[in-house]
């Protein structure tokens, strides 16, 4: 391992790459990379693999355990993309949304999309624009999420998750990359989506569910909640359970199922639809909670939907309990 700094420096110089370029490739600051060549730091395993792949040598050679550089030629370098080729790559990822102002890029706030795009740019070495499966609001989580981007890089898909994850914070993880047809679009190709809202229903709070489930201290009858949830199933105009904030051609959606399940103190509300309006799931959950509280009858919900009056439905519950949990595509992504 003591030979690692000298071998890294020699390989870099042989490839005529400067330290800032190597730092960008690895998703490090210039000073962070310099620590490697000065022997004051050592890369974690994913970055060590990235270095071996980039220089076309074995990890054993980098560590000084052998003088044999490599048995295979190096893979196409993500630092040297072919500008004439544009591949469409779909990413399946997961993220905890507590630290972000939603998926979509914001002018003055951190977002999941911006964080992912910056990490991808250091891997493929050109600007990246990601298209996501849908907007998730500030504090909302993605247990599963799909995005796609176009790249001129020849980096193999099976290496993209590892390369990108070394450049991402721990609360965003890419789990799979798949090359898809040019026509694929993460939002336009999605046939239906499922969100799950979690409620921690106990007189006392639970520290492990802070920003991960809505703490509700009064007992909720899940059978009444299910009766109310059933009223939403079908094709309806959902204006009464949306927040004004985004333009849409129509407020008619089809809800395939709305299932309420209790496991101990945790109530999960799973909603599947062909699409969702702004804050629709959170308002639907707020409405079924109102029904459990006796503030409205489950059978009142069809009339509320017909009225289109947002004030007649329940409140928009907090974002921390909401997760995107399933997405349907014709493509295997």
Which residues are catalytically annotated? 137
Helices (H), the chain: 4-14, 19-26, 30-38, 45-55, 59-62, 112-124, 160-165, 222-230, 280-293, 301-307
As beta bridge partners, residue 241 has none
| HSE-CB of 162 using CA atoms within 13 angstroms | 14
Q: What are phi and psi of 57, to 5 degrees?
A: -125, 170
Q: Which two tokens stand for residue 44?
A: 């974690």
Determine the angle formed by the axes of helices 19-26 and 45-55, rounding to 10 degrees: 130
**Cβ-contact 271, 255 below 8 angstroms:** yes
Cα distance between residue 33 and residue 206, in whole Å = 41
**Cβ-contact 147, 191 below 8 angstroms:** no
Q: What angle do CA 24, 131, 257 make, to 5 degrees?
A: 135
Cα distance between residue 171 and residue 151, in whole Å = 24
Handedness of CA 257, 262, 268, 269 (dihedral sign): positive
**Rg from Cα positions in the chain:** 24
As beta bridge partners, residue 323 has 141, 196
């Amino acid at each position: 391992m003591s030979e690692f700094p000298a071998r890294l420096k020699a390989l870099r110089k042989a490839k005529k790459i400067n330290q800032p370029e190597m730092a960008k490739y690895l998703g490090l600051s210039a000073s962070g990379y310099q620590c490697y060549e000065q022997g004051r730091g050592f890369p974690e395993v994913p970055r060590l693999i990235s270095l071996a792949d980039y220089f076309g040598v074995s990890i054993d050679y980098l560590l000084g355990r052998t003088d044999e550089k490599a048995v295979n030629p190096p893979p196409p370098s993500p630092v040297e993309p072919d500008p004439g080729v544009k591949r469409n790559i779909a990413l399946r990822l997961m993220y905890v949304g507590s630290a972000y102002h939603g998926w979509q890029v914001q002018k003055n706030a951190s977002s999941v999309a911006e964080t992912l795009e910056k990490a991808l740019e250091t891997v493929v070495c050109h600007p990246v624009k990601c298209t996501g499966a849908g907007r998730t609001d500030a504090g909302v989580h993605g247990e599963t999420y799909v995005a796609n981007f176009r790249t001129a890089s020849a980096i193999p898909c099976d290496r993209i998750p590892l390369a990108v994850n070394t450049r991402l914070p721990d609360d965003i993880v890419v789990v799979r990359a798949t090359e898809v047809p040019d026509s694929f679009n993460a939002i336009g190709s999605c046939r239906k989506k499922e969100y799950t809202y979690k409620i921690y229903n106990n007189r006392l709070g639970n520290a492990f569910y802070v920003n991960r489930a809505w703490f509700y201290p009064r007992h909720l009858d899940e059978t009444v909640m299910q009766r109310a949830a059933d009223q939403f199933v079908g094709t309806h105009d959902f204006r009464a359970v949306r927040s004004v904030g985004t333009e849409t051609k129509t407020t008619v959606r089809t809800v395939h199922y709305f299932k309420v399940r209790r496991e101990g103190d945790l109530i999960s509300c799973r909603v599947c639809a062909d699409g969702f309006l702004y804050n629709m799931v959170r308002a639907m959950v707020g409405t079924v909670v109102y029904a459990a509280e006796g503030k409205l009858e489950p059978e009142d919900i069809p009339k509320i939907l017909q009225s289109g009056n947002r004030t007649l439905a329940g409140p928009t519950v907090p974002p921390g309990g909401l997760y995107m949990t399933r997405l349907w595509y014709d493509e295997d992504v």
